[in-house]
Structure 1
């Protein structure tokens, strides 16, 4: 296990990464066990954009849901700790939940954050996940890597999306991302890129990659 102190706009979160969490079917290590650059990029974008100059980005009192939070849940943690989100629900597959709970506890956020199991394509809705409340914001980072997974993700998004729900997503700009986005558009979502920038990678100070942030709205609700 590795422990990172992640600083975002002068504010710090403790992140535990696991190297011993495996898929029970394949036996392979789950990539969601580690903190990925897209999650850090999304949290940093949230920190700089959530200001008086962006009133539509105000999370005060908001109910926030993070899909594919992995074991770290950094964007959701940041929303609860520093952006005044009233309630945050972090979701992922069952093997990652103990580590995700440990990160919630490590940052003293158990009173504002819940951890729930959620597999894309399942029948869960916002009513199931947030106990009847409408979700204000859905967060996603680095989920657009496999076109075949996007129909299930789109079905889950439709289940949790309400009339006022919006989404913020971040992804490394790589081959296949636009194909994934096109599937989500066919599933009824408007996905608009709002920022693209190059940044150094956490695990390779001499390496850089391009990252993008997206706004997501539903064309159905």
Structure 2
């Protein structure tokens, strides 16, 4: 296990990276065990686009949290409740990071497998969330049906969903699968503080618009006609 100190526009966060967690089937190290650049991008993006969304007093869910950097950044930005979720082997590392940053009163950690019928009890207690954060989850098109099901269950009519990702060959396939599930996809400017950083040239930030929101917009447009 290693410990990293990350600074997101003046906010220091301590992150525990696990080096001894492997997939029980393949034996490979779980990729969510360490910080990926897309998590750094999303964390910096939400910190520099607060005119787009004010986190103070909001409830935030991070799916596929890995090390939980974006979710804990949201907590530092004033979110009243943050729920970090991932598969069971990554939960201990998330809890260590939450504890190290003194965020235990506002940040919960729960196991969540996309597509499962049963949501974590604390997520159910929180009701509809105000924002969903995801980083580097758009890599396997076969996982998108499960992700879409979970998003549909947790998103309300006002929920904002943002996903940061390294752009790979599989990214367009993942987005196409989500569109098939009824989601609107909008690529957002990924500049940070008015600057475009070279290290994020091959990365993108997307807003996912849940089906219930796109249906509401279509209905409103028909009413106006």
The normalised TM-score by structure 2 is: 0.87
- Show structure 1 runs of 5+ residues with no match: 201-207
Q: Which residue in the other structure is 1:77 paired with?
A: 72
- CA pair 8-28 structure 1, distance change in 2 beyond 3 A: same
The answer (yes or no) to whether the contact 2:110–2:120 under 8 Å persists in 1 is: no
Map of 1:172-187 to 2, 5 A cutoff? 172-187=166-181
Q: Which residue in the other structure is 2:23 paired with?
A: 23
Query: Which structure has more strand as a fraction of its residues?
Result: 1
Structure 2 residue aligned with 1:64, among 60, 66, 76?
60
- CA distance in 2 between counterparts of 1:7 and 1:199 reads 18
- CA pair 174-198 structure 1, distance change in 2 beyond 3 A: farther
Q: Which residue in the other structure is 2:198 paired with?
A: 199
Query: Which structure has more helix as a fraction of its residues?
Result: 2
Deviation at 1:87, TM superposition (A): 0.1
Larger radius of gyration: 2
Is 2:125 the counterpart of 1:131? yes
- CA pair 189-151 structure 1, distance change in 2 beyond 3 A: same
Deviations 1:71-129 (A, max 9, x none): x1000000002x11010000000011001100000100000000111001111358762
- CA distance in 2 between counterparts of 1:78 and 1:105 reads 14
The normalised TM-score by structure 1 is: 0.89
- CA distance in 2 between counterparts of 1:210 and 1:198 reads 10
- CA pair 141-76 structure 1, distance change in 2 beyond 3 A: same
Q: Which residue in the other structure is 1:43 paired with?
A: 43
The answer (yes or no) to whether the contact 2:152–2:211 under 8 Å persists in 1 is: no
- CA pair 128-85 structure 1, distance change in 2 beyond 3 A: closer
- CA distance in 2 between counterparts of 1:150 and 1:58 reads 28
- CA distance in 2 between counterparts of 1:149 and 1:216 reads 16
SS in 1 for 2:83: strand
Q: Which residue in the other structure is 1:214 paired with?
A: 206
Aligned residue pair count? 208
The answer (yes or no) to whether the contact 1:127–1:134 under 8 Å persists in 2 is: no
